[in-house]
Amino acid sequence: MHYETLFQEIHRELQLIGEIGQVADYIPELAYVNPDQFGVHLTTVGGEEFAFGDAEKRFSIQSIAKVFTFVLAYSRVKSTIWERTGLEPAGTPFNSLIQLEYDKGIPRNPLINAGAIVICDILASELASPKENILSFIRRITGNQSIDYNSKVALSEKKTGYRNYALVNLMKSFGNIKNDIDKVMEIYFHICSIEMSCKELSQSFLFLANNGIVPYSGERILSVSRTKRVNALMQTCGFYDEAGEFTFKVGLPGKSGVGGGIVAVHPEKYAIAVWSPRLNKKGNSYKGMLFLEEFTTKTRSSIF
């Protein structure tokens, strides 16, 4: 199927609904992004590529990076990971701190902030040079050596990250953070600052659609079974408290970030990334979600 015409058509429909939602504005680097940019890129496991709009423009991937760090930890650490974090959806945002307290410092899953911080703590113990190692991992699975952190963004995140410091301190009080808080948060704020384009994101997630093997290099990242489990985890936990909505309407596993990016995976078929900076009230890309809903409905390619 030739998707580019369909991308254009859906984009045209979305233009009609006008500009709804706000860009994230808690740090200047996100606040000053041109909100009207829009890109989409689909890469098939067979190597075909389909693009539309600003598909090669890099943006702040933010929470999408939590999938990379989780996969890296999951590929190296065996059983202990599930003693340090759960794998259930997180419920309402309101509950983030009460659940951490109720569950004695064990986050609900590795894709919410608290859980991603625990994963950074695991990687801080596991890796020789965590920041460098994480970056090379992402470059390797994408096949692109120019992907990098944006240290200005990382610094801004750190300066305003009081709520994340609340989470890490609460978990530390329960003994669920082993390294120094500063060391862990240095990693955490950096991974949030990574910049990638839709094209790069769809390439980097392709191994999840390909049974755990990076198509262009043949490298196995995860076993078949673990690959399916990562997809399953994204399905139930990839969209904060909108995971049910995304599953219901789009029907693919995926992950979003407050930079306006969303990546979704169709096992055995493709990975698709879409970018539109205006966010809905739950913090997910407003047009990104609508685009993917239309796309999977029109192509009947929900996994359900």
DSSP 39: E
- Least Cβ distance, residue 88 to a copy of itself (angstroms): 4
- Least Cβ distance, residue 103 to a copy of itself (angstroms): 8
Nearer to a copy of itself, 15 or 223 (CB): 223
Question: How many CB atoms are located within 10 Å of the residue 255 CB?
Answer: 27
Task: Write b or e for each residue in 207-243: b if 16 or more Cβ atoms lie within 10 A of its Cβ, otherwise e.
Answer: bbbbbbbbbeeeeebbeeeebbebbebbbbbbbbbbb
Nearer to a copy of itself, 77 or 303 (CB): 303
Binding marks (x or -) toward a copy of itself, 185..224, rule CB under 8 A? ---------------------------------------x
How far is C-alpha 81 from the geometric centre of its chain's CA atoms? 19
Say which amino acid occupies 249.
Answer: K
> % helix / strand / coil in the chain, to the nearest 5?
50, 10, 35
Per-residue CA distances from 201 to 2, 3, 245, 266 (Å): 20, 18, 22, 14
Nearer to a copy of itself, 127 or 181 (CB): 181
How far is C-alpha 255 from the geometric centre of its chain's CA atoms? 4
Nearer to a copy of itself, 150 or 236 (CB): 236
Q: What angle do CA 12, 17, 18 make, to 5 degrees?
A: 100
- Least Cβ distance, residue 244 to a copy of itself (angstroms): 4
- As a whole number of angstroms, the distance between CA 142 and CA 183 comes to 26
Contact region with a copy of itself (CB under 8 A), list: 30-38, 59-67, 118-126, 164-172: 164-172
248 binds a copy of itself (CB under 8 A): yes
For the segment 75-94, give every residue that binds a copy of itself (CB under 8 A). Answer: 86-92, 94
- As a whole number of angstroms, the distance between CA 181 and CA 287 comes to 36
Helix (H), strand (E) at residue 229? helix 224-237
Return the residue of 14, 33, 77, 170 that touches a copy of itself, per CB under 8 A.
170
- Least Cβ distance, residue 220 to a copy of itself (angstroms): 16
DSSP 148: B
297 binds a copy of itself (CB under 8 A): yes
269 binds a copy of itself (CB under 8 A): no
For the segment 15-74, give every residue that binds a copy of itself (CB under 8 A). Answer: none
What is the biggest distance separating any 2 CA atoms in the chain, rounded to whole angstroms? Answer: 54
Which residues contribute to the site for a copy of itself (CB under 8 A)? 86-92, 94-103, 108-109, 162-163, 165-167, 169-170, 172-173, 224-225, 227-229, 231-233, 235-237, 241-245, 247-249, 251, 253, 267, 297, 300, 302-304
